[in-house]
Chain A
Amino acid sequence: MRKFKSLLFREFFLSFRNTHSLIICLLFFVLGITIFTISIGSASITELNIGSSIIWVLFIFTLLLSVEQFFLKDHLDGSLKELVLLGFSSDLIIITKTLTIWVFLIFPILLFFPFVGIVLGIELKEIYIQLIAIFLSSPSLILLSIIGTLVTIQSNSSKIMLTILILPFIIPILIFGVGAAETFFESTKPFQNFFILIAIFLITLPLTLFVGRIAFKELNN
């Protein structure tokens, strides 16, 4: 527990001092939605009912572009190696990073979500459901992005490689996440999609930890 606390302190402290990069990520999210609204037109978005889909796509891209910064600097300055040598397991590092990413990236996006939803003409009750769907799917999305980041750092590839690697695995989450509102209001099993998102997280977590162990070994080799 001491190890977890000290590592969490480190991650939170570093993220606090690195808020400018996180603000840029949030700006990307907000600007992306603004561009969609201007180019398609808010009336068309409401008519076609694609507001939630737009938010989901930008949310995923923001996440994919931001996760790398939580690992790359640590790898380049040797801190990742130092952490392993100080006795921190790859599991603990991944879990702590996931928590930090959630607090410093996902939480602000969730705070922005209602405002962005109103701009896109999404109904308030649908906004609530989408908020829960993003809340439930975000841990899985972070974990998948971490796998991609570790692989791209190790192979010295670009962010495009990360996107190509991870997107196929993200599609199920996207399907059940975007469809959460429809299922909730129209299906006889309103919570079905929420349970599926939780199940995906329970599969992603051990998988990420397993791949993480291999990736850390490769990174240090």
Chain B
Amino acid sequence: MILKIDSICIRRNKKILFDNLSLNLKKSQILFLKGSNGIGKTSLLDAISGLLNPEKGEIYITDYLLRNKKKLDKRSFFYLGHDFCLKDNLTVIENLIIWAKLCGKSATKKNIIQKLKYFKINNLIDIPIYKLSQGQKRKVSLCKLLFDSRKIWILDEPTSGLDVSSTQNFLKLLKSHVRKEGSVIITSHIDLNIKPTHTIDLNKQKVKIKSQLNFKTWNHL
């Protein structure tokens, strides 16, 4: 078992998003989280990646309890969020070089150009990010996956803004990752035609707001 979620309850902004949610992710499996806007897809991914602590229940990644952060190396999974995480005033190649350095990888210019060819954006290497379209920014962001060798990918809306051919390329990338015994947790608006995909419709998991809490966070100051 790569990921095991055991009866978790997630609360965000005073609302209970999920209660008693359990799911499992095995090797070479894609877990597709489906649901309408604001249902809590990103919150669930944040909980899986350790950014958000569930109110109750436990999350295990590769047999380690997520709460036990000493044993669990956060870098055992790769999280690609909905935000691009790119610096507007830097060029495509500068962004990727800095990111690679942060990950402890040595990425040469030649190597990066090679990777960028996958999404056919190798001609954009010296263009600052602020000059790119949303789709091009998404492709640059997705290129990070090509450098990554970790077994678990957590992807939040990776296909938003992508054209049809780039989406196909992305799906091919997912397939090759799964073939190498990798696992993927993904939220997306499009249906994924990759097997074995395990789809979870979060609309059916949603619970009614049980109670409004009285505590205040800094947001309410």
Partners in one complex: yes
Binding site for B on A (CB under 8 A): 2, 6-7, 9-10, 13-14, 17-18, 73, 77-79, 81-88, 151, 154-157, 218, 220-221
CB distance from A211 to the nearest CB of B (A): 11
**Contact among B73, B83, B84 with A87 in the assembled complex (CB-CB below 8 Å):** B73
Query: Is A85 in contact with B49, judged by CB distance below 8 angstroms?
Result: yes
With contacts A86-B75, A87-B73, A155-B219 known, is A81 near B102, CB below 8 A? no
Residues of B with C-beta under 8 A to A154: 218-219
Nearest opposing residue in chain B for A152, CB measure: B218
**Contact among B81, B89, B90 with A82 in the assembled complex (CB-CB below 8 Å):** B81
A6–B89 CA distance with the chains assembled, in angstroms: 19
Query: Is A6 in contact with B81, judged by CB distance below 8 angstroms?
Result: no
CB distance from B152 to the nearest CB of A (A): 12
Query: Is B218 in contact with A218, judged by CB distance below 8 angstroms?
Result: yes
Q: How large is the interface on B (under 10, 10 to 19, 20 to 34, 35 or more residues)?
A: 20 to 34
Residues of A with C-beta under 8 A to B82: 78
**Contact among B46, B51, B89, B103 with A17 in the assembled complex (CB-CB below 8 Å):** B89
Query: Is B51 in contact with A77, judged by CB distance below 8 angstroms?
Result: no
Query: Is B74 in contact with A155, judged by CB distance below 8 angstroms?
Result: no
Is B38 interfacial (CB-CB < 8 Å)?
no
Query: Is A81 in contact with B81, judged by CB distance below 8 angstroms?
Result: yes
Known: A13-B94, A81-B81, A85-B79. 11 other contacts (CB 8 A): A6-B101, A9-B98, A14-B87, A18-B89, A77-B84, A77-B86, A77-B87, A78-B85, A86-B102, A87-B74, A154-B219
Query: Is B87 in contact with A156, judged by CB distance below 8 angstroms?
Result: no
Residues of A with C-beta under 8 A to B84: 77-78
Query: Is B87 in contact with A87, judged by CB distance below 8 angstroms?
Result: no
Binding site for A on B (CB under 8 A): 12, 46, 49, 51-52, 73-75, 79, 81-90, 94, 98, 101-104, 217-219, 221
Query: Is A87 in contact with B51, judged by CB distance below 8 angstroms?
Result: no
**At the interface, is chain A mostly helix, strand, loop or mixed?**
helix
CB distance from B78 to the nearest CB of A (A): 9
Listed residue (A17, A83, A151, A157) with the most chain B CB atoms within 10 angstroms of its CB = A17
Query: Is A220 in contact with B218, judged by CB distance below 8 angstroms?
Result: no
Query: Is A155 in contact with B221, judged by CB distance below 8 angstroms?
Result: yes
Nearest opposing residue in chain B for A153, CB measure: B218
A89–B78 CA distance with the chains assembled, in angstroms: 17
Residues of A with C-beta under 8 A to B217: 218, 221
With contacts A77-B86, A78-B83, A220-B46 known, is A83 near B219, CB below 8 A? no
**Contact among A2, A14, A77, A88 with B85 in the assembled complex (CB-CB below 8 Å):** A77
Residue contacts A-B, CB under 8 angstroms, 10 given: A6-B102, A9-B98, A9-B101, A17-B90, A18-B89, A78-B82, A78-B83, A79-B85, A157-B221, A220-B51
CB distance from B154 to the nearest CB of A (A): 9
Query: Is A78 in contact with B81, judged by CB distance below 8 angstroms?
Result: yes
**Contact among A9, A81, A157 with B51 in the assembled complex (CB-CB below 8 Å):** A81
Nearest opposing residue in chain B for A84, CB measure: B51
In the A-B complex, the 3 residue pairs with the closest CB atoms: A78-B83, A220-B51, A78-B85
Query: Is B104 in contact with A221, judged by CB distance below 8 angstroms?
Result: no
A6–B51 CA distance with the chains assembled, in angstroms: 22
Residues of B with C-beta under 8 A to A73: 87-88
Query: Is A10 in contact with B101, judged by CB distance below 8 angstroms?
Result: yes
A82–B51 CA distance with the chains assembled, in angstroms: 11
Listed residue (B74, B94, B102) with the most chain A CB atoms within 10 angstroms of its CB = B102
Residues of A with C-beta under 8 A to B49: 85
A78–B219 CA distance with the chains assembled, in angstroms: 19
Nearest opposing residue in chain A for B94, CB measure: A13
Query: Is A10 in contact with B102, judged by CB distance below 8 angstroms?
Result: yes
Residues of B with C-beta under 8 A to A85: 49, 51, 74, 79
A81–B83 CA distance with the chains assembled, in angstroms: 10
Residues of A with C-beta under 8 A to B218: 151, 154-155, 218
